[in-house]
Structure 1
Amino acid sequence: MDKLRNMEVMVAVVEAGSFAAAARRLQISAVMVGKHIRQLESHLGARLFQRSTRQNSLTEVGAAFYEDSRRVLEQVRWAESAVERSRAVPQGLLRVSAPFTLGSRVIAPLVAGYQQRHGQVRVDLQLSDGVVDLAGDGFDAAVRIGRVADEGLVARPLRPYAMVIAATPDYLRRHGRPERVADLARHHCLSHSVWQRRVEWTLREDGQELFWPEQARFTCNQGDGLRQAALQGLGLVMQPEVLLSDDLASGALVPVLQHCLPEPRSVHLVYAPDRRQLPKLARFVEHVVEAMGT
């Protein structure tokens, strides 16, 4: 019986919330997850989970074992990293988290370039607009937009995240080019549905913050969906410059209201200070900062 593997699976079940979610994280079957848990319970002579048709909750013994297992696995990772730090050639698995749009448009190509330089490194790039727990979720580094709340992390500043408002030339011929925020009242605005639940576009004009639109003609929960709608001439779109850059360069989209755009948001590459000497991470940080550093 591989005790460490069983402990790793048990911790994954707790943190992922279910056997099925843990199976996806570990890239094994849910049946295999159950087998690991049964082996562990048999070895310990105690039930770790209280099973029901709806959920699996920790028993009192399971909760205590989970905390101890997390500490043991962290010590194992630290011991492994000590060996890895002694190697001159970057190698092993590098796990990176990045926001979806910035990650797909900028970070993914950078990862490809990094791996071309360092062929012995495997990279797991996870794109999500949620904020991951680097240590708890097993990530080596993350790209974050906005303020970095965790002061215990090293935060390397990258190029700011700027927004652009744009539309097709045909749309602007039909509806006119907006020159001031008030002009948006006669335009069709395309809105991200996540933004719509909070406050939509926060624009700046004459020293004031202005919000628009109160209602949108078209909403979508994904930036590229809004981009595609704009390219069809459906209306004005505000999305990150990195998403629209090719369309702006080709003339398929035309920028407007450039004097009213929100302030660019800060971007950082973050990682734990005790892992900065890992060759795979150190070279990755150098590669990203060289390409995107301020």
Structure 2
Amino acid sequence: MAVFVTAADLGSFAAAAAALGMSPQMVAKHVVSLETRLGMRLINRTTRRQSLTEFGRTYRERCRAVLAEAEAADALAETVRAHPRGTLRLNAPVTFGSHGLVPLLTRYLRDCPEVEVDLSLTDRMVEPVEEGFEAVIRLGPLAESSLVARPLAPYRLVACAAPAYLAAYGVPASPEDLAGHQCLDFSHWPRGRDSLWRFTRAGTTVEAPAAGRLHINDFRALLTAARDGFGIVLGVDTALRDDLAAGRLVRVLPDWEAPSRPMHLLTMRDRRPTAKLRRFVEMMLEEFGPDGMAVRTGALARGPA
């Protein structure tokens, strides 16, 4: 249609070819192909001149309207890519989403007033493409996939307990001492070797046999049990910060570095991501991205989300 309209406006295939950067033969091929599909002649052609048929004049005006709509649609796409707008669907682990991600999202929404965020918090490993998420925050080691994985700062954990619990059952002096304590278990994490609590000091790693009678798949519930003095909880530092500052919980084994879990921001591969996603990724890397770590592609977390 675009070639036909240009040829009709300029009056010859040669002029249209010069304007479109193609050969006159290719212009003629486009017009003939359009006429064949329509079953109608659009341009009367002689060796000296060409002119539009009656149907060609009417069809040209309709083509102009169609091309204008197509141009407007392309302009809309460019606007969406240039200016954050629309709904951004995200997925994140429950604890990190509640304590780390939501404060960032409120700043993001203030910065992008034409964007809405649909955040799903779950410790289930979701399928971003099938479930329609534009970005996913994932904990755990990564396996191969077509997604783009941007490394974030590790998910750092600390062990702590209520003063009443420590007064009643003693303060562990080493990771091995945890064997005699009630260790509150986040049951959504993998069992077996991965359920051991690992602590490191001076290059030495100790795997603590952290066992207990209470297993819960929600960290907020584990935190309630810890505040109630039932046992020692291992949790992300940002979720425990207020309780530690207020004295409701006390850190144990402070001379040992508690385990951490790798964390990544996963997005689909897109050469031209929307402005809403691009701005979100920028803010995530500014807030949670480790310094000096490059974007890594082709990875998907094996562990729970």
Query: 1 or 2, which has the higher helix percentage?
Result: 1
Q: Distance in 2 between matches of 1:251 and 1:117?
A: 35
Work out which of the residue numbers 89, 104, 108 in structure 2 matches 1:95.
Answer: 89
Which sections of structure 2, spanning at least 5 residues, go unmatched?
A: 1-72, 291-305
Please, what TM-score do these two structures have when normalized by structure 1?
0.66
Rate the CA distance shift 1:192–1:265 in 2: closer, same or farther, 3 A. closer
Is 2:212 the partner of 1:216? yes
Rate the CA distance shift 1:138–1:81 in 2: closer, same or farther, 3 A. farther
C-alpha distance after superposition, 1:97-131 (max 9, x if no partner): 11111111111221121111111111110111122
Q: Distance in 1 between matches of 2:75 and 2:248?
A: 51
Q: Which residue of 2 aligns with 1:51?
A: none
Is 2:273 the partner of 1:292? no
Tell me by how many angstroms 1:138 deviates: 1.1
Rate the CA distance shift 1:205–1:102 in 2: closer, same or farther, 3 A. closer
Is 2:235 the partner of 1:239? yes
C-alpha distance after superposition, 1:134-176 (max 9, x if no partner): 2221111111112232442222222210111101122222222
Is 2:266 the partner of 1:273? no
After the TM superposition, list the runs of 4 or more consecutive aligned residues in structure 1 that deviate by more than 4 angstroms.
Answer: 80-83, 259-262
C-alpha distance after superposition, 1:238-277 (max 9, x if no partner): 1222221211122211111244454322111111121653
Q: How do residues 143-162 of structure 1 correspond to structure 2 at under 5 angstroms?
A: 143-162=137-156
Tell me by how many angstroms 1:231 deviates: 0.5
Identity value in percent: 39
Indicate conservation of the 8 Å contact 2:200/2:258, yes or no.
no
Which sections of structure 1, spanning at least 5 residues, go unmatched?
A: 1-79
- One-letter amino acid of the structure 2 residue matched with residue 84 of structure 1: A
Tell me by how many angstroms 1:187 deviates: 2.0
Q: Which residue of 1 aligns with 2:199?
A: 204
CA RMSD of aligned residues (A): 2.4
Q: How do residues 71-110 of structure 1 correspond to structure 2 at under 5 angstroms?
A: 83-87=76-80, 88-110=82-104
- One-letter amino acid of the structure 2 residue matched with residue 134 of structure 1: P
State the SS of the aligned residue for 1:274. coil
Q: Distance in 2 between matches of 1:287 and 1:183?
A: 41
State the SS of the aligned residue for 1:158. strand
Indicate conservation of the 8 Å contact 1:81/1:278, yes or no.
no
- One-letter amino acid of the structure 2 residue matched with residue 283 of structure 1: R
Indicate conservation of the 8 Å contact 2:181/2:212, yes or no.
no
Q: Which residue of 2 aligns with 1:249?
A: 245
C-alpha distance after superposition, 1:186-236 (max 9, x if no partner): 3222222334843433323673542423x4132222111111111011111
Higher relative contact order (CA 8 A, sep 6+): 2
C-alpha distance after superposition, 1:3-57 (max 9, x if no partner): xxxxxxxxxxxxxxxxxxxxxxxxxxxxxxxxxxxxxxxxxxxxxxxxxxxxxxx
Tell me by how many angstroms 1:83 deviates: 4.4
Q: Which residue of 2 aligns with 1:57?
A: none
Q: Which moved more, 1:147-156 or 1:104-113?
A: 147-156
Q: How do residues 1-294 of structure 1 correspond to structure 2 at under 5 angstroms?
A: 83-87=76-80, 88-195=82-189, 197-199=191-193, 200-204=195-199, 207-213=204-210, 215-274=211-270, 277-294=273-290
Q: Which residue of 2 aligns with 1:32?
A: none
Q: Distance in 1 between matches of 2:135 and 2:104?
A: 14
Rg larger for: 2
Indicate conservation of the 8 Å contact 2:216/2:222, yes or no.
yes
- One-letter amino acid of the structure 1 residue matched with residue 237 of structure 2: E
Rate the CA distance shift 1:196–1:228 in 2: closer, same or farther, 3 A. farther
**Paired residues, number:** 214
Indicate conservation of the 8 Å contact 1:203/1:260, yes or no.
no
Q: Distance in 1 between matches of 2:106 and 2:121?
A: 15
Please, what TM-score do these two structures have when normalized by structure 2?
0.63
